[in-house]
Amino acid sequence: MPEKKKSSIKSWPVAKTLAVPTAVTAPAVKQPAADLSRVATEDLHREILVRLGEDLTRDGLALTPERVAKAQTYLTSGYQQDPAAILRGALFDVDYDEMVIVKDIEMYSLCEHHMLPFFGKVHIAYIPKGKVIGLSKLPRLVEVFARRLQVQERLTRQIADAIQEAIEPQGVAVVIEAKHLCMMMRGIEKQMSSTITSAMLGAFNKQSRTRQEFLTLLRKTSDSV
Ligand code: ZN
């Protein structure tokens, strides 16, 4: 860390009751004013409802804190699952080296910035090199990564990397088209716009013809999100 100039120490505004800061660093992660680690998750949600101006005695809200806690646990259950383990049980030796494409896999995730949903479709392609993945496992793989707090770019990349590591194919391509409620509900961007991200590894990255073939096949019959 660069040494602090003495003059900057003198000009630091210090209230009499506060200790003099010992170092000028970026603010650390905000700590809650009280130790909340022993408070039940439902009680935290109850507190949030009150702060939003809600009346906790309303019938409809009676079980809402419990429901929210349960829903959030479910929507982030991907943290408890190992993507490699899911694929491991479904790898098959094949003598096939043409492109495998699985399109329109439904995806629901939560953006890590607002914890609001983003959802859409995932398209996966790979060119095997001796091994393929059981087709039903690809939607499972998407789910494991989607049920975490995510950004769409990372989700795209993680799916591609997991396939790459599992079967080391000639190439992997993943495209995600998604709509983000944090944009739509907060009116930041055009309401119906969707975000498209892609990750291209191996042959899809190196050979524009391979990439083009995949993108053309996608366009042919893909419904928009
Ligand atoms: Zn967001």
Assigned domain for 112 exists: yes
Q: Ligand 1: distance of its center to the CA of 159 in Å?
A: 20
81 has catalytic annotation: no
CB-based contacts of 196, cutoff 8 Å, min separation 6: 175, 176, 177
Assigned domain for 5 exists: no
One of 72, 114, 164, 207 is an active-site residue; which one?
114
Assigned domain for 2 exists: no
Q: Ligand 1: distance of its center to the CA of 99 in Å?
A: 34
When divided into structural domains, the chain yields a total of 2
Query: Where residue 34 falls among pLDDT bands split at 50, 70, 90?
Result: confident
Last residue of a domain, one of 75, 109, 134: 75
Residue 93 or 26, more confident: 93
Structure confidence by residue, pLDDT tens digits, 103-114: 999 999 999 999
Report the CATH number that the domain containing residue 61 is assigned in CATH: 1.10.286
* Number of CB atoms found within 10 A of residue 148's CB: 19
Assigned domain for 11 exists: no
Last residue of a domain, one of 43, 75, 107: 75
Both 47 and 142 in one domain: the answer is no
- pLDDT of 15 over the 50 cut: no
pLDDT attached to residue 82 = 94
Average pLDDT value for residue range 3-27:
48
Both 117 and 145 in one domain: the answer is yes
Structure confidence by residue, pLDDT tens digits, 44-73: 999 999 999 999 999 999 999 999 999 999
Average pLDDT value for residue range 24-46:
83
Both 57 and 96 in one domain: the answer is no
Both 64 and 109 in one domain: the answer is no
180 has catalytic annotation: yes
Q: Ligand 1: distance of its center to the CA of 155 in Å?
A: 14
Both 119 and 185 in one domain: the answer is yes
CB-based contacts of 132, cutoff 8 Å, min separation 6: 91, 92, 94, 96, 100, 167
Q: What is the DSSP string of 59-71?
A: GGGTTHHHHHHHH
112 has catalytic annotation: yes
Both 62 and 131 in one domain: the answer is no
Assigned domain for 18 exists: no
* Number of CB atoms found within 10 A of residue 37's CB: 6
123 has catalytic annotation: no
Assigned domain for 15 exists: no
Both 109 and 191 in one domain: the answer is yes
Query: Where residue 8 falls among pLDDT bands split at 50, 70, 90?
Result: very low
Both 71 and 101 in one domain: the answer is no
150 has catalytic annotation: no
Q: What residue type is 62 in one-letter code?
A: A
Q: Ligand 1: distance of its center to the CA of 191 in Å?
A: 14
Assigned domain for 39 exists: yes
Distance, CA of 50 to CA of 132 (rounded, Å): 52
Domain that holds residue 62: 33-75
Both 197 and 99 in one domain: the answer is yes
Both 112 and 200 in one domain: the answer is yes
Both 44 and 123 in one domain: the answer is no
Structure confidence by residue, pLDDT tens digits, 125-178: 999 999 999 999 999 999 999 999 999 999 999 999 999 999 999 999 999 999
Report the CATH number that the domain containing residue 133 is assigned in CATH: 3.30.1130.10
Rounded to two decimals, the pTM is: 0.82
pLDDT attached to residue 73 = 97
Lowest mean pLDDT among 6-20, 32-46, 87-101, 168-182: 6-20
Distance, CA of 217 to CA of 61 (rounded, Å): 48
Instruction: Share the mean pLDDT of the chain.
Output: 87
